[in-house]
Each structure stands twice: as structure tokens, then as C-alpha cells.
Amino acid sequence: MSTMELEAAVGVGQSLDELRQTFRSRRTRSVEWRKAQLRAILKLISDNEDHIFAALQQDLGKHPVETYRDEIGVVVKSANHALSCVEKWMAPKKGQVPLLLFPSKGEVLPEPLGLILIFASWNFPISLALDPVIGAISAGNTVVLKPSELAPACSSFLAKSIPSYLDSKAIKVIEGGPAISEKLLQQKWDKIFFTGGRRVGRIVMSAAAKHLTPVTLELGGKCPVILDSLSDPSDIKVAVKRIAGGKWGPCSGQACIGIDYVLVEDNFASTLIELLKKTIKRFYGENVKNLKNLSRIVNRQHFDRLRNLLEDPKVAASIVHGGSLDENNLIIEPTILLDPPLDAEIMTEEIFGPLLPIITLNNIQESIEFIDSRPKPLVIYAFTKDETFKKQILTETSSGSVVFNDVLIQFLCDSLPFGGVGPSGFGRYHGKYSFDTFSHEKAVLQRSFFPELEARYPPWNDFKMQFIRLGYRFNYLGLLLLFFGLKR
């Protein structure tokens, strides 16, 4: 641990005390405070757009349009949505109460959990940091945000700008690497929200177990595209555009909802490859030295990991497009592979980079079995016009979400919960789901002192037993008869 990290570690305890005190002061519960913080996030973004563009350029070589679409835009949209809905979300929900308990009133009141820890990831270092923060604030919590140290420019941007825009006694950014994370995980939180890989997910959950802290894990997985043999050429064009945009567009494939591989019928593969090649050329250019609009690989370690995937001789033999690497600039060309061996690492591990295996099947129906025999992915994309096939995909596979005829845009749909299942994580967020993730749903039942049912109390006898039996059956007529002595 460096001295800087050591100092930071000492500061963690103090920061947390301050945050807990703020929470106890109940300031963060008022709707005014929540809205003020959400507005502050919007202001932070609009004042600093250029800084954000620069930070992402530095960390990942992200193009400003991509940065706007995947980072700034996402945060602005979420903050606006939360601003307009937070009052509605905070309102208690009425619950129907059985007649036997009449008169009484039941409701569910959302209340903040307390102190939240958010671990963001490096691939979308602004949106995956601020999107959950928006949820935690909307729900009235105090927050510690730990940005990823693998996107250092963004991490330091967040650490510098957040305290000057948001309530620094309630929302703190703590920067650092694994040592700081470990230190943070030793503390008692009321909720931990983690975006990242499975290995660290396990560490986070084990640490949370010690304090019985609930956890939301946003992980990844190998997200497949099922591409049915479309007959209409214009549909094919759209599908290919969406696949090419969705694979290499968002952070060069380094995205948890990015496309991992494509499943397609034998006879359709060559058409797909030809069209993909053309689209790649149009979108990103040709020579690895002159690629445009393409993010770089985050660091040397990941670059080497991806290179290793390609270096397997059988895998290398399956490359049909690309495959060149620019080691100095950490750029990997959009690469297409046709039928790499299914037991090679590229088909067993999440790729998380610009390599796209195309797996051919005799019949597109086989894709269901292909997906079911592998761990549940975060999302399944399917391009098809066949309604029965759609239905089959929906009911016979399991994944965090399913998107038909498009890619990635489910992330922008606030009315849909975003989250995984099984190895792709648990818990969900976005829109109202973010609010719920950071709230406790407190059940409240209010009763009056009258009327009083004698049958509730001991000493027990047959009459009371009879009464209760009828009550549970909601047999109100029977109850009435019992009272008048007409029923035995």
C-alpha cells in the first residue's frame, strides 16, 4: 500500500462517521434534498461536458459522440427521469386488508436504507458510477462512490467535481485500488452495489455476509445474438448495422451487455460476414493504424488477455476478418472469427473486447439448446420475424433480459428493470427499480381499538376454534350464524 493509499484508508473511517451522522440528521430524507442533489448532478454534467469528453478520451480513447451516447446522455436521462418521478416513488402504496381485520389501514412506505457503497467499473466509468448514485440519492441515502482505478482520469474527475456540486457531507467519492476496496469492504454498509466481474463479485458478497449487508451484483456473461435467416434484404442490412454498432460501438466490445458471439444458420454465415466486413469498413475504417470511432483496450493486461484468446492456433485459424493488433496504442481491430472451437477460451470466457465469433448451426432453432447449455447471460439478442420462435426464446431460455431485433437499447428503457440472473448477477436497477433497490419497503398496518373479537384470546374453547376456522375461510355468513347461536 502506498502512503497515499494509507492516508486514504485512515480517512475512510472518519468519512463514514460523518455520512452516518448526516443520515441520522434525516436531511437526506426530504424530497427537497433529493431533488437538489439530482439537479446538482445535471449541473455537474452540463458544466463539465468537455472535461468528461477529455477524461474518456484519455482513459479509453472513446469518441465524444460515443461518450455522449453511453455516458453523459445516460446520466442526464436517468437524473431527469428521477427528478420528475421521485415524489411519486416516495409516496406510500396502499395495501388491501382482509375484512376480518376491519377497520384497519395497510400501506407500504419506502424508506432509505442508510449508507450505500457503490463500486463502479472502468468500461463506462461515468454512467456506471452516476446511474446507481442517482438511484441511491432518489431513495434518500448517503453514498460512498468508489470509481474504478482502471479509468484514472474519470475517477479523478469524479473525485474532484462531485464534492463541489453535491452535498459533500452525504455523498463522498473514495478513490483507490484493491487495498482501498478491501478497507471499504470491512466496514458495515446498509447496501453494496457492485458492477464488475464475477471473481470480485464473490469477494464483495463474502465481505457483505459478515455484516448481513444486502448486495446488488451487476455482472456480465457471454451475451449471444441469435440471427435468424432474414429474407428481406433491408432487414438484413438493419440487423447487420445494429450488430456492428452494438459489438464495436460501445467501448469496443468492453461492455457487460455487449455482443459476445453470433449464432447463425450455416447458409447465412457468408452473407453475414460479407455485410459485416463492409459495415466495419464504413463505421471504423480499415487499417489498424487508421481506425476511427473505436475505443482502445483499457490496459496492457486486458490487451494481453485478448491477444492470448486469439493466439490459440485453432482460434487463429478461424479468423475471417481483422486480427491485427496495435500494441503501442492498445488497439485491436474489429475481428470476426468463424466457428472457433467451442472448447477454446474465446468460447468459454466472456470476451469483453472487439472479437466476434460467429457460430454456425444447421437450424436456428438449435440456438436455444446452445444457449441453455451455457451459463445464463445478462441479455439475449434475437433478430427474427418469426413470432413462434420469439415465444420459444422467451420461454425456453433464461437471461437477465431479452431484446428482439435490436441491441443495447434496453439499457435506455427506464421502464424495464436492468439486471442479471444466476451468474450474470442479481438485483436490478434503472428508473423506479433503482429507487426500489436502495429502499426498504416498510409495511405499515394501522388498527383501531374497536371492534374487539373475543375469539382471539385464550383460554381457548371450541367456540373460538370454530370462529377462527370460519374467519380464515372468509365465511362471513357462517360467522354471523355462529354469533347468533344458530351454527354448531
- Kindly tell me which residue out of 27, 63, 307, 321 binds another protein, with binding defined by CB under 8 A: 63
- Kindly tell me which residue out of 205, 288, 344, 361 binds another protein, with binding defined by CB under 8 A: 205
Residue 289 in the binding site for another protein (CB under 8 A):
no
Residue 256 designated active-site? yes
Restricting to residues 406-445, which ones interact with another protein according to CB under 8 A? Answer: 406, 409-410, 412-418, 421-423, 425-428, 440-445
Annotated catalytic residue, options 154, 223, 251, 256:
256
Residue 281 in the binding site for another protein (CB under 8 A):
no
- Kindly tell me which residue out of 282, 289, 300, 314 binds another protein, with binding defined by CB under 8 A: 282
Annotated catalytic residue, options 66, 71, 218, 265:
218
The rounded distance, in Å, linking the Cα atoms of 258 and 379 is 9
> How many residues at the interface with another protein, by CB under 8 A?
104
Alpha-carbon separation of residue 429 from 126, 136, 170, 283, 293 (angstroms): 16, 10, 21, 32, 29
Residue with cell 455482472: 219
Restricting to residues 380-399, which ones interact with another protein according to CB under 8 A? Answer: 390, 394-396, 398-399
Evaluate whether 252 touches 332 at the Cβ level (below 8 Å): yes
Going by C-beta distance under 8 Å and a sequence separation of 6 or more, which residues neighbour residue 140? 28, 29, 30, 33, 34, 90, 111, 112, 439
What character string, x for contact with another protein (CB under 8 A) and - otherwise, covers 64-93?
xxx-xx---xx-xx--x-------------
Q: Is 69 exposed, middle or buried (0-12, 13-18, 19+ CB in 10 A)?
A: middle
Residue 214 in the binding site for another protein (CB under 8 A):
yes
Interface stretch with another protein, choices 118-126, 235-243, 309-317, 345-353 (CB under 8 A): 235-243
| 3 state SS of 229 | coil
- Kindly tell me which residue out of 231, 343, 449, 488 binds another protein, with binding defined by CB under 8 A: 449
Q: Give the DSSP H/E element, type plus range, for residue 356.
A: strand 355-361
Residue 27 in the binding site for another protein (CB under 8 A):
no
In the complex with another protein, the residue whose CB is nearer, 6 or 65, is 65
The rounded distance, in Å, linking the Cα atoms of 200 and 202 is 5
In the complex with another protein, the residue whose CB is nearer, 192 or 315, is 192
| 3 state SS of 325 | strand
The rounded distance, in Å, linking the Cα atoms of 385 and 304 is 40
In the complex with another protein, the residue whose CB is nearer, 155 or 397, is 397
Residue 475 in the binding site for another protein (CB under 8 A):
no
Active-site positions read 218, 256
